[in-house]
Amino acid sequence: MVMHGDDARQQALRARAYQLAESGRFDGAHAVEQALIAEGWPNASAALQSSYARKAISERCLAAKPH
């Protein structure tokens, strides 16, 4: 059973991941994950395990890069 607090933390972590991805400073989901861990999100790896989340982050990284 997932606790509501855990769900809120997961949502906050994903929101931060998208924010980082959209900054244009990262090349993909792995780089964003490393940045999240460096910021103090110890559960970043687990939160971003789904292929959907990683794909969404990678797409945002790509879209944010100057063309």
Cβ neighbours of residue 33 closer than 8 Å, sequence gap 6 or more? 17, 44, 45, 48
Chunked mean pLDDT (size 10), the chain, 67 residues: 72 95 96 96 89 94 87
Query: Residue 32 belongs to what domain range?
Result: 4-64
pTM, rounded to two decimals: 0.85
Spatial separation of the C-alpha atoms in residues 13 and 31, rounded to whole Å: 15
| Number of domain units in the chain | 1
- pLDDT score for 16: 97
